[in-house]
């Protein structure tokens, strides 16, 4: 645990230093898709509404070179005649305590502004990093409670540093992905904490956490299948092993209803926002054409060099293989992990931009990190009798180096140094990453 705390401090210090060492233009701490999450908060607190026209206009004035075309959102009116927002309200709610405190302090000091300055946005970025750290701690508690401490250590360290978590926690915390990882980690932690005996209150709190997952990223409602499978398993009568609804004890139905009530209560803000913006509490903001249900790109989602899950993050291969020993350890958890993984792969494959747009790796899978952590720990414990701890740690170090060289290469490319194709070649994804440190040194010498 001290190592994890140390890593958290490194993330905070590194990101904080980057604000001053590599200063961004005014209002650029929250960039890309992050601005859509942020405007919910800014507009509600500073304007008292969800009319984003002035927010997008103001953002464009400060960020004319932003690659995301906010003008399209201004031009694309919702059925209620308002500026649209394709993104979720959950991140704004998770950020809101710190934003409200910052705004109150700014008002007391006579420095209240329009919400786009760094001193409004920087605290939110540090908060996202903190949420990520809490998520890691919760995952470690669960993994170490099921597998060996060594497997838990290897798993969490690998998940943290050898996947795209390191990018979205340390480089781009304004996206929703670290927050989705936190919310899914909380959900899995609550499953583990009350796995032996779950009261009605526990079911309700668990439902609240399920609502939070959906509030942050709507597709993460699929992760609540773990609760459904747990409900089916725990709700069976003692004298009949068939998991059918009519063999359930009457009280089990109440537990299920209480869970749903908690989930719906937390998801209400999103439904209210949709009703204001789109005239309905249920909608697909991008339009139904955004989803191609009968043409899923599942193979590409996993194996394409265009941000495929396994090609960009090979450590996940071993995490998914680990679902097999995970199933042997806990059938409900293992079956849920595999089913949720398949459904998330399908869901990511049916959207128009199945590769996730501009991203470091398959960013839409970050909400499954708790299951990948469990699978990786199961795999480590499975191979541990055959491999020494030193061998496993050396392999872990190789994955970490591989991932962070790729991260450096990707960041340099974003700053116009080097090249990565729209569909990267195998050379770009393998050999070229080893030239990234030399390009970075050359850039520093030429500054």
**Does the pLDDT value for residue 412 go beyond 90?**
no
Q: Where are the domains of the chain?
A: 2-383
Instruction: Look up residue 163 and give its two tokens.
Output: 């996947």
Q: Which of 301, 199, 179, 314 is nearest to 252 (CA)?
A: 199
Query: Are the beta carbons of 174 and 29 closer than 8 angstroms?
Result: yes
Question: Using 50, 70 and 90 to split pLDDT, how confident is the model at 16?
Answer: confident
pLDDT at 247: 46
DSSP state for residue 88 in the 8-state scheme:
-
Which tens digits make up the pLDDT trace of 334-375?
Answer: 999 999 999 999 999 999 999 998 899 999 999 999 999 999
Instruction: Look up residue 38 and give its two tokens.
Output: 């942020």
Which tens digits make up the pLDDT trace of 70-124?
Answer: 566 677 788 998 998 999 999 999 999 999 999 999 888 887 788 888 888 999 9
Question: Using 50, 70 and 90 to split pLDDT, how confident is the model at 416?
Answer: confident
**Does the pLDDT value for residue 61 go beyond 80?**
no
**Does the pLDDT value for residue 238 go beyond 50?**
no
Alpha helices in 32-176 (DSSP H): 34-42, 53-62, 70-75, 90-108, 118-146, 149-161, 165-170
Which tens digits make up the pLDDT trace of 164-183?
Answer: 999 999 999 999 999 999 99
**Does the pLDDT value for residue 189 go beyond 90?**
yes
Cα distances from 285 to residues 10, 264, 267, 372, in angstroms, run 38, 19, 16, 30
């Amino acid at each position: 645990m001290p190592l994890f705390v140390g890593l958290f401090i490194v993330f905070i210090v590194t990101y904080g230093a980057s604000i001053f060492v590599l200063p961004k233009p005014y209002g650029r701490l929250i960039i890309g898709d992050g601005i859509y999450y942020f405007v919910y908060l800014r507009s509600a607190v500073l304007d008292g509404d969800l009319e984003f026209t002035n927010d997008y206009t103001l953002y464009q004035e400060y960020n004319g070179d932003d690659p995301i075309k906010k003008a399209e959102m201004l031009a694309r009116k919702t059925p209620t005649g308002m500026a649209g927002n394709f993104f979720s309200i959950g991140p704004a709610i998770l950020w809101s305590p710190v934003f409200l405190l910052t705004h109150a302090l700014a008002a007391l000091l006579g420095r209240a502004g329009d919400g786009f300055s760094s001193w409004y946005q920087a605290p939110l970025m540090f908060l996202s990093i903190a949420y990520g750290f809490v998520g890691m701690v919760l995952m470690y508690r669960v993994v170490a409670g099921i597998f060996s401490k060594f497997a838990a250590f290897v798993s969490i360290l690998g998940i943290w540093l050898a996947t795209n978590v390191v990018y979205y926690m340390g480089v781009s915390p304004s996206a929703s992905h670290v927050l989705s990882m936190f919310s899914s980690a909380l959900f899995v932690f609550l499953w583990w904490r009350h796995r032996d005996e779950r009261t009605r209150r526990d079911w309700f709190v668990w439902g609240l956490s399920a609502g939070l997952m959906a509030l942050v990223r709507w597709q993460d409602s699929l992760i609540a299948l773990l609760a459904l499978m747990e409900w089916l398993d725990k709700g069976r009568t003692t004298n009949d092993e068939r998991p059918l609804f009519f063999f359930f004890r009457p009280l089990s139905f109440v537990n299920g209803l209480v869970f749903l009530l908690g989930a719906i209560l937390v998801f209400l803000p999103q439904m209210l926002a949709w009703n204001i913006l789109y005239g309905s509490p249920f909608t697909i903001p991008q339009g139904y054409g955004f989803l191609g249900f009968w043409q899923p790109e599942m193979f590409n989602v996993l194996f394409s060099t265009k941000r495929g899950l396994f090609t960009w993050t090979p450590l996940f291969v071993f995490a998914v293989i680990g679902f097999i020993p995970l199933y042997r350890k806990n059938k409900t958890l293992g079956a849920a992990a595999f089913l949720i993984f398949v459904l998330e792969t399908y869901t990511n494959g049916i959207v128009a931009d199945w590769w996730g747009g501009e991203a470091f790796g398959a960013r839409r899978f970050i909400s499954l990190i708790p299951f990948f952590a469990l699978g990786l720990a199961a795999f480590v414990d499975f191979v541990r009798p055959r491999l020494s701890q030193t061998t496993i740690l050396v392999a872990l170090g190789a994955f970490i180096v591989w991932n962070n060289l790729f991260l450096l290469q990707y960041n340099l490319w974003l700053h116009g140094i080097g090249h990565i194709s729209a569909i990267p070649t195998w050379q770009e994804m393998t050999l070229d990453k080893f030239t990234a440190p030399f390009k970075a040194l050359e850039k520093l010498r030429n500054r």
